[in-house]
Amino acid sequence: MPRGTRAQALDLIFRSAVESGEGFRTAALGIPRFGKTYHLQEVVAEAIERQICRWALVHDVKKVEPQYEGTVRASIPDLLARPLAANDDRIIVLHPAPETPTEARPSVESVAQAALQLGRSGNPSLLCVDELFHALSSERQWAGPTTPLILREGSSQRVSIAFTTQIPQQLPTEALDLCESVSLFHLAGRSATYAAKRFELQPEVERALPTLARGEFFLVTLEGCDGVIYGPN
């Protein structure tokens, strides 16, 4: 199958935002430890570097240590209590201390509200959610109204969204329907079957999904899947 670089994929991911001057919506799907988070780290960094977004708010609560580089705050109240200095990184990683009880960890809703407020105040922002299931109360049910609002209307207000998920069939329909791009990493079983049907993948792409190595992915855009394996570099 044809090969492409991550840089080429990023150009496609940001294309709609560059052409429209608005935000972008992208997702990364795949089983654990196959490169989704590294990919979004690159998306976040490039969105800031290319000046598509001025601020990035990253909901990162999955592991003991932060997975994303940036200015770390435990929550939005902590960010308000300790505002950023002029030389602080504009990627703000919302990551609680290891001993923080689960119920006290920052919610995706609180981070989404802050990202939306930034965009509406004239500061283009990016909401990054490492595992979108944290934004749900149960399968296919949003825990709060702001993340789906950003998916539907955020782009025109210069609010972008990027997220990962391991089991795409658990997400509400609009989570994937409204993305301009979706990166498909290693998928197998029911998730691979769902992705193949959902994105109308070519048979050879569907067969290749369970064989993708770490960091390799297909990219689905509004034009469909081009059949190129991007990455790992």
The enclosing domain of 190 has a CATH number of: 3.40.50.300
The pLDDT value given to residue 6: 97
The pLDDT value given to residue 100: 85
Block means of pLDDT (10 residues each) for the chain, length 233 residues?
97 96 97 97 98 98 94 96 94 92 89 98 97 96 98 96 97 96 97 96 98 98 97 95
Q: Provide the residue type at 84 as one letter.
A: L
Task: Quote the pTM value.
Answer: 0.96
Quote the number of domains for the chain.
1
Domain assignment of residue 58, given as a range = 3-230
- In this structure, which long-range contacts are made by residues 87-91, counting pairs with CB atoms below 8 Å and at least 24 apart in sequence? 90/48, 90/54, 90/55, 90/56, 91/44, 91/45, 91/48, 91/56, 91/58
pLDDT per position as a tens digit, 150-177: 999 999 999 999 999 999 999 999 999 9
pLDDT per position as a tens digit, 115-129: 999 999 999 999 999
